[in-house]
Structure 1
Amino acid sequence: MTHRPLALFDLDNTLADTAHRQHWLRRTPRDWPAFFAAATDDPPLGEGVALALRNAEDGDVGYLTGRPERCRRDTLDWLARHGLPPGEVWMRPDHDRRPARHTKLETLRRIATHREIRHVVDDDEQVCDAFEAAGFTVVRARWATPSATLKDAQQRAGRT
């Protein structure tokens, strides 16, 4: 079976607007269970969703997220509810706290051993830099409001 090229999409602040739940990360200590539980209420980001739908016209779409594996059911439900193309979802193991630039690149390299990667769409600049340095084509998702809180969660706390 031949596969069409695969476009991979991040979720948080690429397809899903996390602004309404970031307050859970500004607390000390951060309330990670509440932050992830609130993801079910994320509004979709129109520009990211439109890009995913366009990619599905002549290729396959998948999702490469730093969300923990325990969020899989809610994530799959969210993708379906917002009309995103079906595709495989790669998630962070529940107890892996490494920065997203490491966990996602490791997963991307594994996927690329058996799939042609069209491009990867992500909002995290450090993740995008790591993907590009490894030779992958990147679309930088700059349509969500930048968030220092989310950036810290992605890079320092290793949680999303």
Structure 2
Amino acid sequence: MKIAFDIDGVLADNTHWAPTVASWDDFIEAISTSKPIPEPITIAEALFADNALIVNPHHILFLTARPERCRKSTLEWLSNNIAIDLPINLDMRPNEIDRPNAEYKLERCLELKPDLIFEDDEEAAKLLRDNGFKVMLFLRRIE
């Protein structure tokens, strides 16, 4: 079983800084201050720990529309916030590609063929579902 996790809005809560970010450079700087979202992180950690389910660590994928230039800060955030002892399989948008999140995610999922996708973007989730993918939609928490 191949499972894909979106990062922003699923694993990382960046609602406290996202409205103030004006550039990708600002975004990269702010990534480290994203707060972990406990419930989906617990699910990801459990999947990594269940050797019966995950034979290959590449069956857990972190799929994000963040550009490749955010790789270092994204890997640092994942390493600091998700307790896993396996290599992190991180799929990021190439820097030169600039199209809507939903379109990009569909393109990548058609190639990667995950069995289950954890996503917070309703438009992306609908497009993925309409193309035959199973999607767990995470909505923003109201506090």
TM-score normalised by the chain length of structure 2:
0.85
- What's the counterpart of residue 63 of structure 1? 62
Q: 2:16 aligns to what SS in structure 1?
A: helix
User: CA offsets, 1:16-57, max 9 Å, x none?
Assistant: 0101211324xxxx3332123201111100011012123222
- d(CA) in 1 for partners of 2:65 and 2:28? 11
- d(CA) in 2 for partners of 1:96 and 1:24? 23
Q: Percent identity?
A: 30
Where structure 1 has 5 or more consecutive residues not aligned to the other structure, the ranges are 146-160
- What's the counterpart of residue 119 of structure 1? 116
Contact 2:118 2:138 in 1 (8 A): yes
- d(CA) in 1 for partners of 2:141 and 2:30? 18
Within a 5 Å distance, the mapping from 1:1-160 to structure 2 comes to: 5-25=1-21, 30-56=22-48, 57=50, 58-59=53-54, 60-85=59-84, 86-112=87-113, 117-144=114-141
CA RMSD of aligned residues (A): 1.6
Deviating beyond 4 angstroms after TM superposition, the runs of 4 or more aligned structure 1 residues are none
- d(CA) in 1 for partners of 2:69 and 2:23? 15
User: CA offsets, 1:34-88, max 9 Å, x none?
Assistant: 1232011111000110121232222331111010000111111111111244431
Where structure 2 has 5 or more consecutive residues not aligned to the other structure, the ranges are none
- d(CA) in 2 for partners of 1:8 and 1:34? 26
Contact 2:28 2:73 in 1 (8 A): no
TM-score normalised by the chain length of structure 1:
0.76
